[in-house]
Structures are given as C-alpha cells and as structure tokens.
Amino acid sequence: MGGNSATFRIFRHDPSVEGEEPRFQEYEVPVRQGLTVLDALFHIQERLDSSLAFRASCRAAACGSCAMHIAGRYGLACQTQVGPLGDGPIVLRPLAHLPIIRDLVVDMGPFWEKYNKIRPFLVPGEPAPEKERTQSPDDRDKLEGLIDCILCGICSSACAVGGTDDAYLGPAALLNANRFVQDTRDGAAEERLRIVDGEHGVWRCHTIFSCQEACPKGLDPTGAIMTLRRTIIRHRWKKLVR
C-alpha cells in the first residue's frame, strides 16, 4: 500500500487460551504528518480491532510503558514516527526474554526482580545534615546518563546474553547499580560491587553494545558495566596492597 496509509503487522497471542497459536495480524492505518506508532496502535484498538492489547501511559517518552520491537529494532512506540518507516509492513512485536501476557504486553516481573536485587536506593555514607547533602556540580554531572533511565526494559530485551542466561542481571539493573556507585552521597559501594561482581553480573556482559544501540533515551549501559568492572578491579587491587 502506498500514499496515505501504512500496513502494520502485529504480533497477536493470548497464552491464556489453550491451543491458541501466536500469529501476526495486519492492519491498514491512515498516516498523517507526526503520527507515531503509539497513535497508530490507538487507531487500531479504537477503530479497527478492540481486542488488541498494548501498554501506554505518558506518550512522551518518560514512563517506559510502550517499549516494543518496531520494524526491526527496539523502541518506544510513542517516540517512533510512522512516516520514516515507510509503507510497511511495519512489524510490531513484544519485548523479548519476558513472558507474554497478551499481544504486545509482557510480564515485566523478572525485569523488576533483577532491578530489586541491586538494592536500588541510596544508602547514605553519613547521617543526614540539617539541610541538603552538598555535592559539587562535577560530581552531580557523573550521574547524567544514569538517572535518565526510565526502566522501560528495552536494553534487557535487546541484550543477546539475556536470551541465554536467565539469571544475568542485565544492562538496566547494572546501569542503575552504577548510578548509586557513582553518587558521592552513597556509602555502600563495597556491597553494591559485591552484588554485581559475579558470573551473572558485570562479567557476563559480552560488550556487544546492543543495549547502547537500542536505548530509547540514548544511554550507555555497556559503558556503565565497564565502569563497574574497572571499579571492582580497582577495589581488588586496593585490598591486595593493603
């Protein structure tokens, strides 16, 4: 189809229905300037096929709900313009390595479990002062690119290692571990490094950079993992020479 419409080819599956096989279903969506993949999904769900299931919330690339595989790469449906994708068929699939609940919606449970493992909260090194803990602008800058993670799960789905090792903490959890290691206000670096220093932690990464390529916020989880590795090695040396 050409002109003012595009064909979407969407993964459909309801595992709760016994014997139901996964399949792809095609829909024709009128395209206008500025139309996003998320707009197209709503068009389909509201006007063509109300049975379609997908997640969405902020539609401004801040909440991470609408992460999926779009025309050959991972992305947020809300910030992906339809126009540049051509007439299609534009193939939409759910995130990988996670159980499917229905259609484009996956169970993020295993993703959150890994995130919870890294003790994702500040463990202050010192008691709180009366006012704010001070932090120099340079030290604050070290958190840029780490605090911007929206935990959409795309990096973990794009990660080739994630497909072969269910226990691998994955790029999102590791990037967030580094977020606290880098924070001058945190005092639990030793413990954090112990958590990620293992065969299912930072050493499992094969530095393929799939996570970095896929991240819809332009972050660099591979770089964060490498920073954690260097920090671990530095800490080991410190222990040896002590």
Partner 1 sequence: MHSHDVLIVGGGLAGLRAAVELNKANVKVGLISKVHPLRSHSVAAQGGINASLGNHPRGDYDTAMRHAFDTVKGSDFLADQPAVVRMAKDAPLRVYEIEHWGCPFSRTDEGKIAQRPFGGAGFPRTCYASDKTGLAMMHTLFEQMIRYQQAAERQELVVYSEWLVIGLAVDGDLCAGAVAMNIKTGEVDGFKAEAVLFATGGAGRIYGNSTNAIINSGMGMAVPYRAGVSLKDMEFVQFHPTTLLGSNILISEAARGEGGFLLNKDGHRFLADYPDSKKAMEVAPRDIVARNMAREILAGRAVEGTHFRLDLRHLGEEKIQKQLPGIRDLAIRFAGIDPADEPVPVQPGQHYTMGGIDVDRSGATLLKGLYAAGEAACVSVHGANRLGGNSLLDTIVFGAIAGEAMAEFVAGHVRPASSDKALADSAAREREAVERLMTGGGTEDPVAIKDEMKKTMMEKVGIFRDREGLSSALETIRGLKDRYKRVRVSFKGKVLNQELRSTIELGGSLDVAEAVVAGALAREESRGSHSRTDFRSRDDASWLKHTLAAHTPDGPRLSYKDVELGYFEPAERVY
Binding site for partner 1 (CB under 8 A): 14, 16, 34, 36, 45-47, 50-65, 79, 101-103, 105, 108, 116, 119-122, 124, 128, 130-137, 139-140, 143-144, 147-148, 150-151, 180, 183, 185-186, 217-218
Nearer to partner 1, 52 or 161 (CB): 52
Q: Which residues contact 123 (CB under 8 A, 6 or more apart)?
A: 180, 186, 187, 188, 191
Please, what is the minimum distance in Å from the beta carbon of residue 58 to partner 1? 4
Peptide bond preceding 89 in cis form (omega within 30 of 0): yes
**Nearer CB in complex with partner 1: 90/161:** 90
- Closer Cβ to partner 1, 3 or 84, answer by number: 84
The CB-of-64 to partner 1 minimum distance in angstroms stands at: 7
Residue 102 or 235: the one with the smaller Cβ distance to partner 1 is 102
Amino acid in position 168: Y
How many alpha carbons fall within 13 Å on the CB side of residue 57?
7
Q: Could you tell me the smallest distance in angstroms from the CB atom of residue 69 to partner 1?
A: 18
Using only the alpha carbons of the chain, give its radius of gyration: 21
Task: Report the nearest approach of partner 1 to the CB of residue 159 (Å).
Answer: 20
- CB of 94: closest distance to partner 1 in angstroms? 12
Residue closer to partner 1 by CB (options 111, 168) is 111
Q: Whole-number minimum distance, CB 176 to partner 1, in Å?
A: 9
Residue 53 or 189: the one with the smaller Cβ distance to partner 1 is 53
* Nearer Cβ to partner 1 (101/189): 101
Query: The tokens of 63 are what?
Result: 């909440």
CA distance 53 to 28: 17
Shortest Å distance, C-beta 88 to partner 1: 21
* Strand boundaries in the chain, DSSP class E: 5-12, 23-30, 67-70, 73-76, 90-93, 100-102, 105-106
For 37-40, which contacts have Cβ atoms below 8 Å and span 24 or more sequence positions?
37/70, 37/75, 37/77, 37/78, 37/80, 37/81, 37/82, 37/85, 37/90, 37/92, 38/66, 38/76, 38/77, 38/78, 38/80, 39/82, 40/6, 40/8, 40/82
